Amino acid sequence: MLVGKVAPEIVCQAIIDNKIQDIKLSDFKNKYKVLFFYPLDFTFVCPTEIHAFQDLIEEFKKRDAIILGISIDSVYSHEAWLKQPKEEGGIHGVTFPLLSDITKSISSNYHVLDEKAGVALRGLFIIDQDNIIQSMQINNLSVGRNIHEVLRLIDAIDFAKNNKQVCPANWTAEQKALSPDQEGLSKYFKTKK
């Protein structure tokens, strides 16, 4: 289990601003990192998720969060996929970094490698400014993620860190949280009636 632990360092190549560059997770200190693994380029669920992240990129920026997509494909595969139009299953227009885990070591370190299929499962990790993993979610290959839920989780993690309160089920930024004690819980349920 990786939640609550320092995120394993990542050192790899990535496509950033349409260029092949070396990248490290530690390059993004003092930011939330949304690290999402996807199985392969040129597939079917993957571009829907990648475009959904891109559609909400300004919301992530407002939260001082960087999106990092990663698969076992080479940077050259990422580069070709970025040139393919959305209407043809491509990811043209995506602006966040796409990392290459061609050795599968990163997928393995994050416990998302499906060794039988030889690809990463749909793992998603929210890593805080101190490089601590605050949330992880792993979906099977055929099930895409809810990107709005990722934003909600960042809001909840940030609120709890900065307010010494906890966020109940389905909490959103417009709602009250509760103090982490019996009195806070009782007060919460009384107001829910």
Assign 191 a pLDDT band (cuts: 50, 70, 90): confident
Phi, psi of 59 (to 5 degrees): -65, -40
Strand order across the 122-127 sheet = 19-24, 11-16, 98-100, 65-71, 32-37, 122-127, 133-139
Closest by CA to 46, choosing from 127, 141, 151, is: 141
Question: Contacts from 28-31 at CB under 8 Å and sequence distance 24+?
Answer: 28/66, 28/68, 29/129, 29/131, 30/64, 30/129, 31/64, 31/65, 31/66, 31/129
Residue 192 confidence (pLDDT) above 90: no
Identified catalytic residue from 23, 35, 46, 133: 46
The stretch 45-53 carries a mean pLDDT of 98
Closest by CA to 104, choosing from 127, 133, 73, is: 73
In three-state secondary structure terms, 150 is helix
The stretch 130-144 carries a mean pLDDT of 96
10 Å Cβ neighbour count for 29?
A: 10
Q: Quick check: is 167 catalytic?
A: no
Report how far apart the first and last C-alpha atoms of the chain are (Å, whole number).
36
Contacts of 150 (CB under 8 A, 6+ apart): 34, 124, 126
Per-residue model confidence (pLDDT) at position 176: 87
Per-residue model confidence (pLDDT) at position 130: 96
Domain boundaries, the chain: 11-145, 146-193
Q: What's the sign of the alpha-carbon dihedral 20, 26, 27, 32? A: positive
Whole-angstrom CA distances from 96 to 41, 63, 118, 155, 171 are: 15, 15, 25, 20, 28
Per-residue model confidence (pLDDT) at position 1: 86
Domain 11-145: give its CATH code.
Answer: 3.40.30.10
Per-residue model confidence (pLDDT) at position 165: 93
Residue 193 confidence (pLDDT) above 80: no
